[in-house]
Amino acid sequence: MTTLIKSATIIDSSSPYHNQNKDLLIVDGKINKIADSIPFKNEYKLVEKENLHVSCGWFDTSVSFGEPGYEERETIKNGLQVAAKSGFTAVALNANTNPIIDNKSSVEYLLNKSTNSATKLYPITALTQQSKGIDLAELYDMQKHGAIAFGDYNKPIANDNLMKIALLYAQNFDGLVLSFPKNNSIAGEGIANEGVNSTKLGLKGSPALAEHIQIARDLFLLEYTGGKLHIPTISTAKSIDLIKEAKKKGLQVTCSVAIHNLCLSDDELHSFDSSYKTNPPLRTKNDIKALQKAVKSGIIDIITSDHNPIDIEHKKVEFSEAKDGTIGLESAFGALNTIFKLEDFIESITSKPKQIFGIESNSITEGNPAEITFFNPETEYIFNKEHILSTSKNSAFINKKMKGQVYGVFANNQLIIN
C-alpha cells in the first residue's frame, strides 16, 4: 500500500523537517520520501486535509477498556478503534479487568485480541496478585511475554514492605513499577477534594494530604532501594514539589497527570454530575495552575487521558454511589490544545512517555516506520455527545469548548481517517 500525504506541517523536534510543510510518501508502512512536492498517482491513497499537521504517533499511558469481564463498558476492538480516531497510535492498557491481568496467559490474551489493530496495545499488568495488595504478581514472567509496567490501577499499595520488595525485585529485569498516589487511611471515604466546595455541597472530602503522604513514602522507599518508579495521575501542587525534589536528588522517578485534572476544578461539582467523579478527584484552581506550569517545565513527564469507560448503570446514579472515572480519548487533544501551545505538550504524549515505558519512538524521517498522527490545531468547536465514539458516554468534557481536530493516524501499515 502506498499513501501520499499532501502539504502537511511536520511537528517533530527530532526530525530534520520540524516545522516545515512537506509532502510525505509512505510505501509498505515506511516513510519512503519527504519533499516539497510529490506527484500523485492513481494507485496512491491520498491524505489531503485543511491545515494538515502531522506528528509522531501519540501514546496514552493510562487507558481502560473493560474487556475481559466488562465488555458492556468497552471492548478491546472498539476501544482501539476509538484510540486511532482520537490520534493515538499506541495505548497502555490498565489491568482493571475481570479477571485481573496478573499472569502471562492474560497478557497473551490482550495481545492476541489486539493483533490487527492500527493502534498498538501495551499491557500494564497488576503489581500484586488480583490487585489485592498482598502478594506480588508474576512480574518477570509477564514482562517476558509483553507487559511494559506493573501497577494496581487506582489502588494504592498500603504495605510499605511490599512496595520496597517490588522496587528491589523489578531492578533484576529493569522493570517499571507504578504506585497510585493515595493513602486510603487518610482519604477514608472521601469522594471529592476536601475544601470549600466539598463542605458547601455536603460531600465527603478526600484531602490532598492523602496524595502527599503516599508520594513521600514511595520516594523514601525509592531512595532506599533504587529502581524505577512511575507515579500516575498526580493532582496537587505539593505533589509536584515532592517529585521535583526527588528528581534533583537523581532518583529515577517520573509522573503523569490526567487531562481532566489539568482542565477542570472542583467547582464543576456544583452540578452533582457524576461524570466529574474521578480518582484522584478534581482539585482546586490553584492546583490546576501548578500542574499546567509543571507540564511546561517538564517536571510532569507525561499527560494521559486516564480514559475509563463506565456503563450507565454505574455512572448515572447518585454522586456518592457512582463509580469513579471519565472517558477521555476523544476529547484529549481538543482539551490540551485549548489550554497549551502545541509545543508545550506534544512531547508529553509522544517521545517522553515512549522513552519512560521503553517503547521505540520513530521520528518523521525518510526510511523510518510510519507511525503518524494527523490533526488540525486551529479548529474550534463545542464537545458534545456526537463526538463520543466510546461505548460508554461518561465524559467530563461534555459542552466544553475545544480547540483542535484530529483527522486520524497512520500506524501498523493502516490508514485510519475520520
Confidence of residue 212 (pLDDT cuts 50, 70, 90): very high
d(CA 337, CA 301): 17
Could you give the number of structural domains in the chain? 2
- Is residue 15 located within the same domain as residue 104? no
Q: Are residues 28 and 62 in the same domain?
A: no
Please report, rounded to a whole number, the percentage of residues in the chain having pLDDT higher than 90.
Answer: 99
Q: Which residues pair with 381 in a beta bridge?
A: 402
Sorting pLDDT into bands at 50, 70 and 90, what band is 368?
A: very high
Question: For residue 328, is it within any domain?
Answer: yes
Residue 246 is predicted with a pLDDT of 98
Residues 202, 326, single domain; the answer is: yes
Preceding omega of 280 cis (within 30 degrees of 0):
yes
Q: What is the pLDDT of residues 311-366, one digit of tens each?
A: 999 999 999 999 999 999 999 999 999 999 999 999 999 999 999 999 999 999 99
Confidence band of 174 (pLDDT split at 50, 70, 90): very high
Mean pLDDT of 253-279: 97
Shared domain for 21 and 94, answered yes or no, is no
Q: Domain ends where: 336, 356, 376? A: 356
Q: What is the pLDDT of residues 238-259, one digit of tens each?
A: 999 999 999 999 999 999 999 9
d(CA 230, CA 399): 33
Mean pLDDT of the chain: 97
DSSP state of 227: S
Burial 369-402 (b: 16+ CB within 10 A, else e): ebbbbbbbbeeeeebeeebbbbbbbbbbbbebeb
- Categorize the per-residue pLDDT at 385 as very low, low, confident or very high, splitting at 50, 70 and 90: very high
| Domain identity same for 100 and 196 | yes
Are 168 and 21 within one domain?
Answer: no
Residues 25 and 159 in one domain: no
Residues 60 and 10 in one domain: no
Q: What is the pLDDT of residue 362?
A: 92
Q: Which residues are tagged catalytic?
A: 306
198: confidence class by pLDDT, cuts 50, 70, 90: very high
Supply the range of the domain harboring residue 187: 56-356
> Which residues lie below 8 Å from residue 276, measured CB to CB, with a gap of 6+?
264, 268, 269, 282, 326, 396
How many CB atoms are located within 10 Å of the residue 367 CB?
Answer: 9
**Within-domain flag for 361:** no
pTM of the model: 0.96
Q: Report the CATH number that the domain containing residue 271 is assigned in CATH.
A: 3.20.20.140
Give the span between the Cα atoms of 371 and 88, in whole angstroms.
Answer: 10
Verify that 18 and 66 share a domain, yes or no. Answer: no
- What is the DSSP secondary structure assignment for residue 122, as one 8-state letter? E
Question: What mean pLDDT do residues 130-150 have?
Answer: 97
Compute the average pLDDT of residues 18-45: 96
